[in-house]
């Protein structure tokens, strides 16, 4: 009888602890598309979040998927109702499309959250040529009709 009672008490204690709300990280957005990025130009985006839970949230790590991405984050505890950030800088050295992740680890209810950066690194020449080409048709409009 004592064993059954003890088991019930332990079960209730574990259930109560499991359902107690922790800190909850709510990001305004979990992915960002940089679009076209000139090669060799680092780009940065700051992911902002709010702690919508009842306990403080502490980010213990923000791990990038490769060495070309450098994260920074709020190092102090984010109290309930307060805001924090995870800033990610992508190097943009290699040409082509990119899809990089920064995995945020914390003591929040959702302990691991992947944040995504996407875009396309283009040659600097292609960027300047693309910017100059819309001006060319405007010059053609100034031509007089019927002249050769």
Domain boundaries, the chain: 25-122
pLDDT of residue 132: 52
Burial class of residue 73 in the structure, from the number of CB atoms within 10 Å of its CB (0-12 exposed, 13-18 middle, 19+ buried): buried
pLDDT of residue 139: 47
Whether this prediction's pTM lies above 0.75 is answered by no
Is 90 exceeded by the pLDDT of residue 116?
Answer: yes
End-to-end CA distance of the chain: 107
Average pLDDT score over residue span 21-47: 95
Tokens of 27: 């990001």
Q: Does domain 25-122 bear CATH number 3.40.50.1370?
A: no
Which of the four pLDDT bands, split at 50, 70 and 90, describes residue 124? Answer: confident
Q: Which of 114, 116, 107, 25 is nearest to 60 (CA)?
A: 107
CB-based contacts of 36, cutoff 8 Å, min separation 6: 119, 120, 122, 127
CB-based contacts of 12, cutoff 8 Å, min separation 6: none
Burial class of residue 9 in the structure, from the number of CB atoms within 10 Å of its CB (0-12 exposed, 13-18 middle, 19+ buried): exposed
């Amino acid at each position: 009888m004592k064993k059954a009672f003890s088991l019930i008490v332990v079960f209730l204690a574990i259930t109560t602890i499991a359902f107690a709300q922790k800190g909850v990280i709510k990001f305004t957005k979990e992915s960002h598309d940089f679009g076209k990025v000139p090669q060799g130009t680092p780009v940065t985006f700051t992911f902002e979040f709010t702690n919508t839970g009842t306990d403080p949230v502490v980010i213990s790590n923000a791990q990038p998927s490769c060495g070309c991405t450098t994260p920074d984050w709020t190092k102090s505890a984010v109290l309930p109702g307060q805001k924090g950030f995870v800033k990610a800088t992508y190097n943009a050295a290699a040409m082509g499309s990119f899809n990089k992740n920064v995995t945020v680890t914390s003591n929040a209810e959702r302990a691991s959250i992947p944040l995504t950066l996407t875009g396309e690194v283009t040659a600097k020449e292609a960027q300047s040529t693309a910017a100059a080409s819309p001006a060319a048709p405007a010059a053609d409009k100034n031509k007089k009709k019927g002249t050769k």
